[in-house]
Amino acid sequence: MFRKILIANRGEIALRVICACKELGIRTVAVYSEADRDALHVRFADEAICIGPPRSSESYLNIASIISAAEITDSEAIHPGYGFLSENAHFAEVCEASKITFIGPRPDVIRLMGDKNQARKKMDELGLSVLPGSSVLNSQEEALSEAQRIGYPVMIKAAAGGGGRGMRIVESEEELPRAFMMAQAEAEAAFGSPDVYLEKYISSPRHIEFQVMGDAFGKVVHLGERECTIQRRHQKLVEESPSTQIDQATRDMLGSQVVQALEKIGYTNAGTVEFLMDENRNLYFLEMNTRIQVEHAVTEMVTGLDLVKQQIRIAAGERLPQKWESVCLRGHAIECRICAEDPETFIPYAGKVTGLHVPGGPGVRVDRAIYTEATIPPYYDSLIAKLICHGQDRNEAIHRMSRALEMFLVEGVRTLIPLHEKIMADKDFRAGKFDTHFLRRFMENAKVEAMAMSGGK
């Protein structure tokens, strides 16, 4: 087992990794920007090193500074968390060259799965269903020709992308040229590559993903699925497990296909294989995230397993325990992402937390990085906490989440807690009747109701 691990991240995921390391008897090194000097991950790590100014490009994305910090502190491994450098194949290669273990998949696998177009091709070869689509497009003329072959509507997607950036829905031939140029420009700005491709657009999809874990001995297992359909601009807000749309037969069949595909590419460590479900409940491979997910806690709640500890054990050369091959999902879990944003406009909200009360009780878990008097900086993602609730069934999980949200008080900054309370109370959400457009319709209905109550003013 490792003696010391550096955590190349911040916020709640850095704290989550620190917790796992402490339970394994591993010393931890936190890295932080000047804006995070008073952050909790800095306080609870055994050592901490400042790696640069507030901007992430000069700190949390600065590979040279992170590697230097690892070398100075004699860290044997680096855990990248999620976001930042977690899916950067070059960073994984630099770690390897520096004789530092990267806690994640091999660089070649990260690179393969990081190119969305190549990943689609590979998974198609390995037997997973994929949406009709194109290769990387070299011109508007080629895009027009491919769109006509696939059939409108289509989605333009960044080949190196994720998180909704570099994506455009195109309903007709007239819309495509402008959307193509905009998607290329956004992809270049966000990922350093203008490469885009087309994919058939499903008008009312659900977003379902399978959690996987693989060891260095060729063994891959899946830990069931998560429903991640409640989104805003392709950013997840509410996740749950299991999905109401997946029965045990489908779970076993698709899970087996996923495992077989990943064993063939030699996948190691944690990962998530994402699918879109159409109106007829057909599932199509969307992409793969080669890291731990924000929503991994949902799976931990229904399986009773610690995914972060297992990441570390696998990176240290251990085999997957045999019990992981036959995991049963127990009860139901839901996660709400608590972001420092205005619940009506979604404008990020930086500032000082002047008061805080965190809910507790049976089946309630809060992963957070905030505390009273903490300052939320304006430089990073707005996620400040994750509220996860587990129940014997979905109904109990929803009711437990509702009361926990009511008891979750954050003063000094605005958060999405009021929005989550309304979502939990929504009749369609409670009935499991939603798709990825749920939040847009939900917000539009809320505005109509607010206008009606104000007399249309």
Answer whether CATH 3.40.50.300 is correct for domain 4-103: no
Reported as a single tens digit per residue, the pLDDT across 274-290 is 999 999 999 999 999 99
Q: What is the mean pLDDT of residues 369-386?
A: 97
Contact 106, 93 (CB under 8 A): no
319 is catalytic: no
**Higher pLDDT pick, 20 / 450:** 20
Per the listing, tokens 């509220």 go with 387
Return the amino acid letter for 307: L
pLDDT score, position 95: 98
Q: What is the mean pLDDT of residues 243-266?
A: 97
Q: What is the mean pLDDT of the chain?
A: 95
**Catalytic hit among 16, 226, 291, 365:** 291
Q: What is the mean pLDDT of residues 17-32?
A: 98
Please check the confidence at residue 457 and state whether its pLDDT lies above 60.
no
pLDDT score, position 455: 62
Q: Kindly list the domain boundaries of the chain, sorted by start residue.
A: 4-103, 132-200, 206-448
The CATH architecture one would assign to domain 132-200 is 2-Layer Sandwich (3.30)
This prediction has a pTM of 0.92
pLDDT band of residue 117 (cuts 50, 70, 90) is confident
Please check the confidence at residue 100 and state whether its pLDDT lies above 60.
yes
Contact 404, 364 (CB under 8 A): yes
Distance between CA atoms of 420 and 386, rounded to whole angstroms?
12
Collect contacts of 19-25 with beta carbons under 8 A, ≥24 apart: 19/308, 20/306, 20/308, 20/309, 20/311, 20/312, 21/312, 23/306, 23/309, 24/309, 24/312, 24/313, 25/1
Please return the burial class of 4, using the count of CB atoms within 10 Å of its CB with bins 0-12, 13-18 and 19+. middle
Distance between CA atoms of 206 and 422, rounded to whole angstroms?
20
Distance between CA atoms of 218 and 45, rounded to whole angstroms?
33
Contact 353, 410 (CB under 8 A): yes
Please check the confidence at residue 113 and state whether its pLDDT lies above 60.
yes
pLDDT score, position 165: 79
Distance between CA atoms of 95 and 101, rounded to whole angstroms?
6
pLDDT band of residue 92 (cuts 50, 70, 90) is very high
DSSP state of 38: T
Distance between CA atoms of 316 and 261, rounded to whole angstroms?
24
The answer to which of 42-51, 376-385, 408-417, 446-455 has the lowest mean pLDDT is 446-455
Secondary structure element (H or E) that encloses residue 237, with its range: strand 235-241
Q: Which fold has domain 206-448?
A: D-amino Acid Aminotransferase; Chain A, domain 1 (3.30.470)
Establish whether domains 4-103 and 206-448 are of one fold: no
